[in-house]
Structure 1
Amino acid sequence: MAPTTSYSRTARAVRVVAHRGASHEHPEHTIEAYRQAVADGADALECDVRLTADRRLVCVHDRTVERTSDGRGAVSAMTYEELSAFDFGRWKGEAHRGARVLLFEDLLKEALAADRPVGLAVETKHPTRAGGRLEAELVRMLRDHGLADGRSGLVEVMSFSRGALTRLHRLAPGLPAVHLIERRLRAPRPPFAGHAGPGIDLVRKDPGLVGRLRAKGLRVRVWTVDEPEDVELCVRLGVETLITNRPRQVREQLAAL
């Protein structure tokens, strides 16, 4: 049966955010993955940020580098120069792609240089020995680029940590905040966080969660939505934003609904 007009309008309005770039096709958090995501039509680029020992912001998800590089050790215990010696091209069992660790500032410049508005969804990773220095450095960099007040609409911040979101709000109250949810909401949502981010596993188990969150006036984004049936489920439930490793495929499916 053909989709209704209202369903089609809903699907077309859904934002697509590239999870660590187009990470189904390229190693995560590499400039190639992000350039592919922009080419694939992603509305925004999702990244995880950590602070190195010499206080550089790098795009790395894990606390340590073993999974995504040919090196060993904790990100926070190494300098940017030390991290730069590793190959961060480990992906699907391969580790010979020659990718260097990506500075957040370089990703920021890449997004700003796009030929259309491309946003950034930035998750600060916790726990970390850097503590609040991570959020302070992120806001400092955004301020240097004129993006910390939130007026551009290009940057939003995310975290599972209520404390991290609180620090970000104090430093940059104009930035949209997303409270990420993995299994269930263990602590009260920060009142300033207007977005809720449950994982797709949680949404599958409890589809009614999306409606309850929306009834509280929250905008809902779901991660990580790669499968066609999950895309359809999220659209049906009224999810506003999908975070996906496959931005092109998801964009094409939304256009066809």
Structure 2
Amino acid sequence: MAGPYLGEKRETGGRPRVIAHRGASAMQPEHTLAAYTTAFDLGVDGIECDVRLTADHHLVCVHDRRANRTSNGKGVISTLELAHLEGLDWASWKELDDGSANEQADSDPGRGRILTLNRLLDSLTSQRQELLTLIETKHPTRYGGLVERQLVTALREFGLTTGDLPQLPHVRVMSFSLMALVRMRGLAPQVPLVHLVAQSAPRLSWDGSLPTGINIVGLDMRIVRRSSAIVRAHQRRGHEVYVWTVNEPEDVERCVELGVDVMISDRPSDVMALLG
């Protein structure tokens, strides 16, 4: 694909921002503190995480509904208490890029500990940078709106519900659930929202429209590969466009050519190298 030098500045204000998907998840086990501290060290523009509620109503950073894939335990996250989840190993399952198993968890037990949202926010705020912080609430869940209520409580504790401030993370809350976004708008109206759109969405809107009060769309990279029309449609309406998961060089180039605002990647180091 012919295209510009990936490091050149766009007229809209520069290169797309690079966001570490579940932390630097190609380099470290996803959603562990090590994945995020690695991302900070890489100099990323921000991070992304998913949150779920435990049985005793703690927000933890886990993508899947069940613990099976990313820990040595089993069971639905929402039915397990935090103390049980903290007893599991969330790191050694990961095969690193060199083909080895992740053995560092044995020498550092904290490395494989489940990451709570509060612990992640504490680490983020200690960076004293305006890191773009994308938090996705996962639905459907047995707890419904309690997820957003607990999220707002956590954000408020760190002073992150009153808009973007200097030397603090710039939070965006994302969801595929419109109801979840409506709840967030009511609970914390100054926190910007991202409406996520998957390739499998049954009524994918191609005209660039978004629900009232939402000005950011999150698009599956597979949609962007299929057609640039939806990106252009949102840009014409003045919306920001976030794209996930951008790992391949041709996808990076496509996103740069389209002038998207954010690229969410498992491999932020590789993406930043391509951007120069």
Which residue is 2:213 aligned to? 192
Shift in alpha-carbon separation, 1:176–1:193, aligned structure 2, 3 A: same
Query: Given the alignment of the two structures, is residue 240 of structure 1 paired with residue 273 of structure 2, yes or no?
Result: no
Instruction: Write the distance in 2 (CA, Å) between the matches of 1:2 and 1:19.
Output: 25
AA paired with 2:80? M
Query: Between Structure 1 and Structure 2, how many residues are aligned?
Result: 254
| 1:77-96 pair list within 5 angstroms | 77-89=79-91, 90-92=93-95, 94=101
- Deviation track 1:15-64 (CA, whole Å, cap 9, x = no partner) reads 11110000010000001100111111111110000011111110000010
Contact 2:164 2:171 in 1 (8 A): no
Which residue is 1:55 aligned to? 57
Deviation at 1:2, TM superposition (A): 9.0
4+ residue segments displaced more than 3 Å? 1-5, 92-98
Contact 2:3 2:253 in 1 (8 A): no
Which residue is 1:118 aligned to? 131
Which residue is 2:29 aligned to? 27
Shift in alpha-carbon separation, 1:185–1:209, aligned structure 2, 3 A: farther
Query: Given the alignment of the two structures, is residue 143 of structure 1 paired with residue 145 of structure 2, yes or no?
Result: no
AA paired with 1:230? D
Instruction: Find the residue that maps to 1:76 and give its secondary structure.
Output: helix
Contact 1:17 1:44 in 2 (8 A): yes
| 1:1-257 pair list within 5 angstroms | 3=4, 8-10=8-10, 12-89=14-91, 90-92=93-95, 94=101, 97=105, 98=109, 99-114=112-127, 116-152=129-165, 154-183=170-199, 184=201, 186=203, 189-255=210-276
Shift in alpha-carbon separation, 1:68–1:201, aligned structure 2, 3 A: same
Q: What TM-score comes out, normalization by structure 1 length?
A: 0.93
Instruction: Find the residue that maps to 2:194 and give its secondary structure.
Output: strand
Instruction: Find the residue that maps to 2:51 and give its secondary structure.
Output: strand
Deviation at 1:118, TM superposition (A): 2.0
Instruction: Write the distance in 2 (CA, Å) between the matches of 1:125 and 1:231.
Output: 26
Instruction: Write the distance in 1 (CA, Å) between the matches of 2:3 and 2:178.
Output: 43
Contact 1:87 1:95 in 2 (8 A): no
Contact 2:3 2:257 in 1 (8 A): no
Instruction: Write the distance in 2 (CA, Å) between the matches of 1:190 and 1:208.
Output: 19
Instruction: Write the distance in 2 (CA, Å) between the matches of 1:200 and 1:21.
Output: 18
Contact 1:162 1:189 in 2 (8 A): no
Instruction: Write the distance in 2 (CA, Å) between the matches of 1:116 and 1:185.
Output: 39
Q: Which runs of 5+ in 2 are unaligned?
A: none
AA paired with 1:139? V
Instruction: Find the residue that maps to 1:201 and give its secondary structure.
Output: helix
Instruction: Write the distance in 2 (CA, Å) between the matches of 1:139 and 1:149.
Output: 11
Identity, % of aligned positions: 42
- Deviation track 1:162-188 (CA, whole Å, cap 9, x = no partner) reads 011010010001111000110247377
